[in-house]
Structure 1
Amino acid sequence: MANLVRTGLLMALLTALFMAVGYGVGGGTGASIAFAIAAAGNLVTYWVADRAVLAAYGARPADPAAFPRLVALVDLLARKAGLKVPRVFVIEADQPNAFATGRDPAHAAVAVTTGLLGALDEAELAGVLAHELSHIRHRDTLTMTVTATLAGAIGMMSNLALIFGGGDERRSSPFAGIGGALLLILAPLSATLVQLAISRAREYAADAGAAALTGQPLALARALSRIGEAARWVGNDDAERNPATASLFIVNPLAGTTFDALFATHPPLRERIARLRRMAQFDARAFSDQMESSDRI
């Protein structure tokens, strides 16, 4: 619940930033137009984002005859989680990775790369799939897609305003002059930081959800380690062409520099793995305490 409230507040902040940029460009009229654009953009995103993302990666439906292990695992884990079984897709890509998409649990899809299927054992693959199902269960795919759309729109509007300037209403507004220029520069940066805060928080929550669903946090930890190591050396051309979708993947698919890590869409892998290991230790201690209590009885 706390994560949902925080996500809602951050999305409201993104919308407010978008309206502020609109106000900086065209005063009250600009703010109204910005709000209308945000609402329309979110509506379009709600209905077509999953199809657009799957098409961008050339994802094809997983044939149960060709990928029996994958289809069976998704079916088993979805039923265990109390979810409608999502559509399953395969992407021809060497980089091991996976993502989930869809506007709600009833219209969801899970996509994995062929590289992932070849890199993980069954327990590790189950951990990755459970992570994606956790995103679906908590509607993270819609949240992250909407925030990416808003953040991109804020940046685009700010760039246009800096290039072409505003009208008479903007020049007479409180955002005129140096203050207006600062707003148009800082708003996209703020929007990016808000988007990253949402994405990072949801990754930690999905890791925890996957560990609870499979009961094997160490298997997911191993999978993250394998995927992260492979992603350092194996590129993902489709992701490089569509960087706004990077936050959907279980591990950042983009090549980057040390500076890029400041604006990474995912939490550090070392911290994610460390948290999963702590979960495994806690479960082991709890089991041991339970056995000791039984012995005393």
Structure 2
Amino acid sequence: MSAGLTTALATLSQPDNARRLRQLVLVVLAIWAVTALASLVWALLPDPPPVATPTAVINPVATASAGQSGAENIDIARMKDWHLFGEAGAEPVAPVTPPEVLAADNARDGIEKGARQTRLKLALRGIVASTEDGLGHAIIEYQSRQDVYAVEDKLPVPGRVTLAKVMPQQVVINNGGTYELLKLFDKSALASQVPAPRPRPEPAAKAEDLDKRGDLDATRLAAGYRKRLYQDPQSLAEVVGVSAVREAGQLVGYRVSPGQDREQFEQLGFQAGDLVQSVNGIDLSSPANTMRLYNLMRTAGEAVFEVQRKGQPVTLSVSLDEAGQQ
């Protein structure tokens, strides 16, 4: 490698070759200098103003000629005949009921005719609400537990059993395609089937008086529960659990337990396991009093519960009148 380097140096050391090398270096330097100078000049010159590109016009506005008026193209008399906001003095048009709603209403008409009394172990404890078209809610008991059911709801018995129609004194259930009746009570056998409520003996100890009528939060909560009872009674199942309690085969009251919000349950003064035996003086040991209590509580200003708590009597009073607490 050293021999090749020595030969190259010897070649470049010759006068002609050295002169050519210098000329080549000078040409390269000249080209670089011209390029650098041009770049410097372009950097110092100001930028030219941007050229505005024509904007495309969408839906251009047509201008009317001098001899043509825009008002001549609008037929005012024809627009009046359209009656965009209705015709003055015309009879109001009755709303049209959708065909599917009419079909649903017609499907419930007369289904109770020819239906026999059901043999299912269900008990109708009350009619919460009923309408002329058979809709509404009913309180139905199964295995000592009561719940509120609406039309088309599945009932808590084996098989395909649903609530088909709600009437003032009875309901119609659909038992696998067969309509059956569940009556609130049998008038002919009411005296024998529903015994008169036994007089409750006076308690040995004086009842504890728990008065919540001055508690504004408890009043608002109780008033809200009453509103839900008449607007959406099924939603109360999420708030409080209710189960019927019997002794010697006779109903003695309803045991209550907290739902999803235990704090609200206790704010009203209740405790888990309380046995409610009467409300506003109406004895709950008689199933016939269910509708009477339902109608009374719609306009009641307060609710007074007679409760058995761990074997001791408790009187719990809650106001339902929010206006009176303001």
Which of the pair has more CA radius of gyration?
2
Q: Name the structure with the higher strand share.
A: 2
Query: Scaled by the length of structure 1, what TM-score is found?
Result: 0.22
Query: Scaled by the length of structure 2, what TM-score is found?
Result: 0.20
Q: Name the structure with the higher helix share.
A: 1
Which structure would you say has the larger RCO, counting Cα contacts within 8 Å and 6 or more residues apart? 1
